[in-house]
A and B are shown apart, each in its own frame.
Chain A
């Protein structure tokens, strides 16, 4: 209980803590955004047991969706968030039926492929997406809550908005996971054959997991776009998908908040190491390999065992 209180305090005061440590307030938002994305991916990876190297597509769709909404539709932050998420969810719904029918190498390759397809689209469709230069010319707007105007321009202010959205979506994800639906996903992961022989329509549940995870990652993408007021094709590249996979895995794909931990680890390391060496990815890649070999449960699992042993 004490740990939870301390953690809550940590998250509430994060922007100032980060500044005190010589970093910048927006890092907190970065961690939450990527954490949400990794947790969204993990719904498919950790809970339903399917590795997707294509989820950057949803991140990008959420980002561009939000950006385009702010740029062309309405100066509303919540609307941008909503439409970005819906765009990603829609894409997941359309791609889903094909994807869930594929297995093994076909599934893995296809996820890479659709990530690249959307990347290519963002890159080429200059008129709409701004091409290689990315989408600019939009910015997060003030919130109008109950007659009050909340200015989100400052990093600290936006952090609390992101935190609020994160908590809401994390709660929704938790409800999905800690329920018969979530347990059906587990059945899919553990033994699809047996799941079928329990009367569960495997493809349908996989589709559900795919769409839910796509929507969550899309929401993260929308938040990201509004964090930097910018959307770019690299958000859709399959290497970005790979980063999400690494975050979820490193953090711990069998624990609910594991991927958040992984995202934090990733981004903090990036911050710390990139000032020291340009090859921080090399270090992270090696870490990842070691984790796959020796810590398949990730950091969360490691911490849990460590805490258990100390009792």
Chain B
């Protein structure tokens, strides 16, 4: 089976700053993969290259076996990719219901049309209710997303990816700025989605508990390059990683 995501030798420079240098990655379908590293390691740039916001100077990207290096974000979405952002990118003035409805319409390719057939409407309504139930947002369905708490906005954002039927989800610091409770809730949701839908997850995180709690494999980046890659146990024990993080990684940490 093709990996959900494959990248070879990705390189991107901004002037004289080599933000990403020869990064390769292989994320099998249905796995959970984390990218960690100190600030300035190039993680955001890597994400931008993978999601299509930036074009690489060198290197290639494949999504589910299809070459995606030069595709814009819209096209990558159609290949099964979706992503969340550090600050949740949702439709703030619209309700939860409307947010998800739009994503469902986009998934069905209905968006260009100035009409909605009855059977499509029925399909959409059914899916919508199921999603609201799944995400635990039924009681907030008719509130504008912009008014919801940070954690709920993140859930809506993940809900958008689900509505799209995404198979690969890129998450940029999904628990940034969250309380412990919100963090736990988000992690549980991601874990459930991974388990039940077989969703492939690739995420950048600074919260090491989240990283070691979720990830099956970890890539460590430093100064634009891949420093190390492996299982959580291997990474935790890796001296180079410990050095790079200046003691942020607790020696002997056991994965959950």
Contacts and interface: CB of A to CB of B under 8 A. Distances in A.
Interface of A: 175-176, 179-184, 186-187, 189-191, 193-194, 196-202, 205, 208
A191 B88 CA distance: 11
Contact of A197 (B89, B101, B114, B116): B89
Nearest to A196: B73
Contacts of A197: 51, 73-74, 77, 82-83, 89
Contacts of B98: 183, 186
Interface string B68-79: 000011110110
Contact of B102 (A176, A198, A202): A198
B94 A180 contact: no
B106 A198 contact: yes
B231 interface: no
Contacts of B94: 186, 190
A99 B51 CA distance: 26
Contacts of B85: 193
Nearest to B81: A197
A238 B98 CA distance: 36
Contact of A180 (B51, B72, B83, B112): B112
Given A179-B116, A180-B111, A184-B112, A196 B74 contact: yes
B251 interface: no
B113 A191 contact: no
6 contacts: A181-B111, A184-B111, A186-B94, A194-B90, A196-B74, A198-B106
B72 to A, nearest CB: 8
A147 B160 CA distance: 56
Nearest to A175: B114
Contact of A186 (B75, B102, B164): B102
Contacts of A199: 74-75, 77-78, 106-107, 164
B14 interface: no
Contacts of B83: 197
A183 B114 contact: no
Interface string B105-122: 111001111111000000
B91 interface: yes
Nearest to A186: B94
B78 A198 contact: no
A201 B77 CA distance: 11
A186 B91 contact: yes
B91 A190 contact: yes
Given A175-B114, A180-B112, 17 more contacts: A175-B115, A179-B115, A180-B111, A180-B113, A181-B114, A186-B91, A187-B106, A189-B93, A190-B93, A193-B89, A197-B83, A198-B160, A199-B107, A199-B164, A200-B111, A201-B74, A205-B112
